[in-house]
C-alpha cells in the first residue's frame, strides 16, 4: 500500500552514532531496523550505512561482518543504499588518513584525502552547490547542513555513458572544494550528517525515502 512506511535497515557493524540516525529516519517516515541480519539487509526497501571515526576502522568493522558483500549485492540488484559521513567515504576506492592508505569498497573511483583548510576539522553548518537533477535536495537548494570531518573526496572522475543516468554530484567548500553528496543510481551518499542537520536533514531523508517507493 502507498501509505506503508518504507522499511530501512541501518547496518549494525559497530559504528557509533547509529541511534540518532535511526530516530531521524523514523521522523522522516521510515520503519527502521538496526540490524546485521543478512536477509533483512537484502530485503529492506533501503539500507543506511552510517560511519564515524577513521576510514580504516570503518572498513575493518565492515569487513568483520562482510558488509561490503551486502552492499554490493544490493547495488547489483538496483536496491537503494545511503551512506553517511565515513559511510560515504568508504564507497570510494581508497582513503588516506595520517599516512595510512586503506582500500575502500570501490563503488566509485577516487581517493579520500585530508581537507586543505586553515581550520580542521570542518565542524559546523555549510551551504551546498547542489548538483543538476538532484532529487535528494529538491526544495532544499538554499539550506545549510551540518558537517564534522577532516577528510573528503575532492574529485569526481566516474565516467557514466548512456543509457545510464549521469550522477548528480553536490559540492561544498571548507578551505578546498569537496564532494558533499552523490546520487548515482541506487547508491546515494552524504558527507554531512542529515541526522544532525535539523529540519533540513529530515527533509533530505524524506526525499531519499521518496525514491524508495517511486
Question: What is the per-residue pLDDT across 168-197, written as a single tens digit (0 to 9) for each?
Answer: 999 999 999 999 999 999 999 999 999 999
Could you tell me if residue 2 is inside a domain?
Answer: no
Could you tell me if residue 152 is inside a domain?
Answer: yes
Which range of residues forms the domain containing residue 122?
Answer: 7-212
In the sheet that 108-114 helps form, which strands lie side by side, from edge to edge? 100-103, 92-97, 108-114, 151-153
For 36-44, what is the mean pLDDT? 97
Among residues 180, 184, 171, which one has the least CA distance to residue 211? 184
b/e code 117-138 from CB counts within 10 Å (16+ = b): eeeeebeeebebebbeebebbe
Number of domains in the chain: 1
Q: What does residue 47 show for φ and ψ, rounded to 5 degrees?
A: -125, 125
Question: What is the per-residue pLDDT across 123-164, written as a single tens digit (0 to 9) for each?
Answer: 999 999 999 999 999 999 999 999 999 999 999 999 988 888
Q: Report the predicted TM-score, pTM, of the whole model to 2 decimal places.
A: 0.96
- What pLDDT does residue 1 have? 37
Name, in order, each residue with C-beta under 8 angstroms of 67's C-beta and a sequence gap of 6 or more.
Answer: 11, 13, 49, 61
For 96-116, what is the mean pLDDT? 96
Q: What does residue 6 show for φ and ψ, rounded to 5 degrees?
A: -65, 140
Q: Fill in the DSSP letter of residue 195.
A: G
Task: Indicate if the pLDDT at residue 165 is higher than 70.
Answer: yes
Which cell numbers in the block locate residue 186? 541506487
How far is CA 100 from each of CA 55, 94, 111, 179, rounded to the nearest angstrom? 9, 10, 12, 21
Which positions are catalytic? 85, 193, 195
Could you tell me if residue 105 is inside a domain?
Answer: yes
CATH number at residue 160: 3.40.50.880
Could you tell me if residue 20 is inside a domain?
Answer: yes
- 5 neighbors 31 (Cβ within 8 angstroms): yes
- 214 neighbors 45 (Cβ within 8 angstroms): no
Amino acid at each position: 500500500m502507498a501509505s506503508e512506511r518504507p522499511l530501512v535497515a541501518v547496518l549494525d557493524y559497530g559504528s557509533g552514532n547509529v541511534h540518532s540516525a535511526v530516530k531521524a529516519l523514523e521522523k522522516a517516515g521510515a520503519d527502521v531496523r538496526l540490524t546485521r541480519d543478512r536477509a533483512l539487509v537484502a530485503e529492506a526497501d533501503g539500507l543506511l550505512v552510517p560511519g564515524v571515526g577513521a576510514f580504516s576502522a570503518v572498513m575493518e568493522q565492515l569487513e568483520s561482518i562482510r558488509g561490503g558483500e551486502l552492499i554490493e549485492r544490493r547495488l547489483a540488484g538496483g536496491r537503494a543504499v545511503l551512506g553517511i559521513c565515513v559511510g560515504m567515504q568508504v564507497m570510494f576506492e581508497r582513503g588516506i588518513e595520517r599516512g595510512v592508505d586503506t582500500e575502500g569498497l570501490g563503488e566509485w573511483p577516487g581517493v579520500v584525502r585530508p581537507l586543505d583548510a586553515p581550520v580542521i576539522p570542518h565542524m559546523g553548518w555549510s551551504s551546498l552547490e547542489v548538483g543538476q537533477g538532484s532529487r535528494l535536495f529538491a526544495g532544499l537548494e538554499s539550506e545549510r547542513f551540518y558537517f564534522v570531518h577532516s577528510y573528503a573526496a575532492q574529485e569526481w572522475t566516474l565516467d557514466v555513458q548512456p543509457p545510464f543516468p549521469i550522477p548528480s554530484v553536490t559540492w561544498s567548500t571548507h578551505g578546498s572544494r569537496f564532494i558533499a553528496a552523490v546520487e548515482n543510481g541506487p547508491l546515494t551518499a552524504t558527507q554531512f550528517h542529515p541526522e544532525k542537520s535539523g529540519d533540513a536533514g529530515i527533509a533530505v531523508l524524506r526525499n531519499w525515502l521518496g525514491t524508495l517507493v517511486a
